[in-house]
Structure 1
């Protein structure tokens, strides 16, 4: 080899090494920027969550954080949902109790968001082996319109099942694509699916398709191996995850079903049928439900995600037609995910009335479906997907950032958090009672979080806010016997046995009218108190005086 050739070879090697270093640093920079971007989005999400207005539904889900385990769910208080959500917020209160009841609950919701995003990234990355697709999937869920509303911002049971359902489905899909699924992870998948169903009844839709698929996947192994390695571990995990529900169900089946099932199929529907005019846009029929579904599935970030999925499906079909499909062994997994998505979509129309939060569960299946479709695309075609994913992420961020960025700015003013205002309202309430030497007794209100934040007593009948009270006229005597509840006709007896130290109203004039009548009849004194206003109205506090009822 001549000296000239040696020099040319050395220069080529040096240039290749330089290019390699540049690519390495470029990948590192992109990775750092991606992590920083997701962290920034999560920070903005946290700020939005903590400043999101108080919701009536939180009067049902947050109080158990304090009154458990002194009061028993279903027996001592009205609670119309499965128990996992109550115990979740109770555990959050134990850990973050210094943030107040609502603050601890909202922090718990944020941790669920983090778990959901991590589950999406891990699942899509394991299936597709593409960091770009994993990042796109995370941004797509962050940009989903319904999750930026009450479904994902309020301390309720709407978000709680999603990370567990996604993890359960994702683990099952990932493991059944292997020659020999790891039974330990299949066990975890079953447990996660049951935990999701124990957090919200509607999440049970994730279980039947997976349970059926366990007898068929992986297809390349014997039935005996499949039974011992997939079916039995999945069932065992499911039983372990369902233990909290079984505990309450077996302890008193009639009581449990009266709250979790009979309420939603009886007095709940009757109440809204009679009071539909009080809730604009209430979806009582199929037409209204279709409009809600359209807004959840085919608007904003969800529409972009659906469009990308159609594109990936077309690319997958093209790869199969050209004989360039990378992995044709995941057709069974695609069918499972499609079945779960379809079943969740169909059953979201079952509850009456329909609310936007009922239509969010199919959304978490879409990242897994996208990863499976991407897995089948050839290497050349994947290069064509890159600009589509990048452009889609950009559009999603353009649509979503105006809603998220105010949350980032709010982090500088934690005193303006909804939870902080609620704590101050409770303190003002407590000081008002102390300054007027109010006799001991519970506070009667449909906003029990205010007195509970200050450690004041409340009536068990109002521990779930207005939800038990308002259905009293629509509940037959046989079913009402299972509920710790009181209606307008029973207020006199309830207050006669234990007069309220104070009555807090101002949030629902129609339902609160009997309380105001009691106030006027028993010489309660109105005391001006700050920090008791929320999206439902200005709080009015009436305290018991020595001249009132004893």
Structure 2
């Protein structure tokens, strides 16, 4: 019966003007079956003008490409000028200190280690002191890589330029992604380009007469890299493995295992070597920081916290509704619905579903749905937790366009271009000012903070490398001060430290709200730095003033960071 359905699907899909029904390929080899086992490069590719063609680009394509370039430049300008986020204190500081101690035991890092390895390696290679600026440039490069991954997928699927243009705009115009999750130096956006590239290589590996073990291997490596940035993306692994095993049903099981699932698994192990080394070298500390922090310490802290928080399924659904049913996310969902509805309207339910039914479509839809499930797991919820389904929803638009029937292409492209225009209009108020910021390096937050903190340290008479107690360690490293391990994670470990079980405290280097004064008395840091933006900083301010520390404020009209320096003998003489 499956063979009969596949043959009928191939015949139905071939009724368009450009595609003969079940015609042999040019080399005389038979066509692949339709449905889940259909080869993605045959039968549903675009006609002339698609991304797969080498014809000279039209004026419209050049203009649209120019618009994408302008949008990207606006995005980069917005990214470089975006205010500092609390999470950046953790990610940038630990990356800066990487190589001087263990990122878990000594510095309190609580995620998988790929971001500090990558960013710390860049700091070491460049020798820069502009830590925030280089981190933001890394995020800008990740955006470019994500757009390039969409282009590669669109080209491989031969969706046509309008589909790629719409997908790129829906990604760059997503208000959530051009907010904190996609603008700050954190692990929220970095997994996305690697996840999309993994899917591209999987498509390349399975889109041929014999699955390519090399492409499947690379896909496995990229999946592990994505997971190594943020563990939430672990759901990629089983779904890509299932696609590798079940998508090429026309091939013998042995071939699918040897050329598909085994290379994918080996690639995953290869890409996961840094994580495996971290686990093997100190498993107790690794799991205390990456698992028990989120399952025990974080919930206990928020249970006792009076800060506003989103807990419970009802509140999470309301937050998800605000994020997913607005702006470009809703537009991408609408695009996917329209691309499914077009063949249903023309061919009916049975033939219409067969027209869009293919393993890339099923994979993209499954990943988007799983991203929705994963978004509801952490508690309390924050907007960045709702990022995972977004890239796969955009991917779903691309692969659905690849399955569009010939008679529906004009309507499909018109809908996608209309959605892209609306997405541009929604994002214009955010990306437009970014163009201005890009031309004014003095407005880049990395440049401003670096200059401000270096000047503040000089005016205070502090020396480079002087120890500092602070819950804003990013400001400290930009100023050249030395951050003790107790403060390397900012406030994220400090605020939960009083909830640590006694047997877990040996895995952490930290102080706590109840032990802060004792730590300051015992260590007497040369400087104390407060940003003026965190309620937790008040004990530091009180200690500095009560112990005679000299106060040096920044030049921001009474706002901004304040540096307190321990008095020296020269100060007494003066």
The two structures have a TM-score, normalised by structure 1, of 0.89
Give me the whole-angstrom Cα distance separating, in 2, the residues matched to 1:119 and 1:541: 44
**Cα deviations by residue, 1:415-463 (Å, 9 ceiling, x for unpaired):** 11111111012212320232xx789840111111222113221221101
Give me the whole-angstrom Cα distance separating, in 1, the residues matched to 2:284 and 2:179: 35
Maintained 8 Å contact 2:159/2:401: no
Alignment correspondent of 1:129: 159
Q: Work out the number of aligned pairs and report it.
A: 519
Alignment correspondent of 2:521: 496
Alignment correspondent of 1:446: 471
Q: Establish whether residue 414 from structure 1 lines up as the match of residue 444 from structure 2.
A: no
Task: Map 1:415-434 onto structure 2 (within 5 A).
Answer: 415-434=442-461
Alignment correspondent of 1:376: 403
Maintained 8 Å contact 1:47/1:407: yes
Q: Establish whether residue 348 from structure 1 lines up as the match of residue 372 from structure 2.
A: no
Q: Establish whether residue 529 from structure 1 lines up as the match of residue 516 from structure 2.
A: no
Give me the whole-angstrom Cα distance separating, in 1, the residues matched to 2:476 and 2:465: 13
Task: Map 1:236-255 onto structure 2 (within 5 A).
Answer: 236-255=266-285
Give me the whole-angstrom Cα distance separating, in 2, the residues matched to 1:166 and 1:320: 31
Alignment correspondent of 2:258: 228
Give me the whole-angstrom Cα distance separating, in 1, the residues matched to 2:369 and 2:416: 24
Alignment correspondent of 1:5: none
Alignment correspondent of 1:182: 212
**1:217 to partner: Cα distance:** 2.1
Unaligned runs of 5+ in 1: 1-19
Maintained 8 Å contact 2:82/2:445: yes
Q: Secondary structure at the match of 1:545?
A: coil
Give me the whole-angstrom Cα distance separating, in 2, the residues matched to 1:396 and 1:298: 13
Q: Secondary structure at the match of 2:482?
A: coil
**1:297 to partner: Cα distance:** 1.8
Q: Secondary structure at the match of 1:317?
A: helix
Task: Please point out which of 71, 90, 95 is paired with 2:120.
Answer: 90
Q: Secondary structure at the match of 2:564?
A: strand
**1:325 to partner: Cα distance:** 7.2
| 467-476 or 298-307, larger mean C-alpha shift | 467-476
**1:64 to partner: Cα distance:** 2.5
Maintained 8 Å contact 2:332/2:397: no
Maintained 8 Å contact 2:457/2:563: no
Task: Map 1:95-494 onto structure 2 (within 5 A).
Answer: 97-98=127-128, 100-275=130-305, 277-279=306-308, 282-318=309-345, 321=348, 331-434=358-461, 441-494=466-519
Q: Secondary structure at the match of 2:529?
A: strand
| 257-266 or 467-476, larger mean C-alpha shift | 467-476
The two structures have a TM-score, normalised by structure 2, of 0.85
**1:323 to partner: Cα distance:** 9.1
Maintained 8 Å contact 1:177/1:329: no
**Cα deviations by residue, 1:92-130 (Å, 9 ceiling, x for unpaired):** 324555470000000000000000011012112322431
Q: Secondary structure at the match of 1:69?
A: coil
Maintained 8 Å contact 2:95/2:120: yes
Maintained 8 Å contact 2:130/2:446: yes
**Cα deviations by residue, 1:298-322 (Å, 9 ceiling, x for unpaired):** 2111111111110001123345549
Q: Secondary structure at the match of 1:489?
A: coil
**1:386 to partner: Cα distance:** 2.2
**1:531 to partner: Cα distance:** 5.7
**1:379 to partner: Cα distance:** 1.0
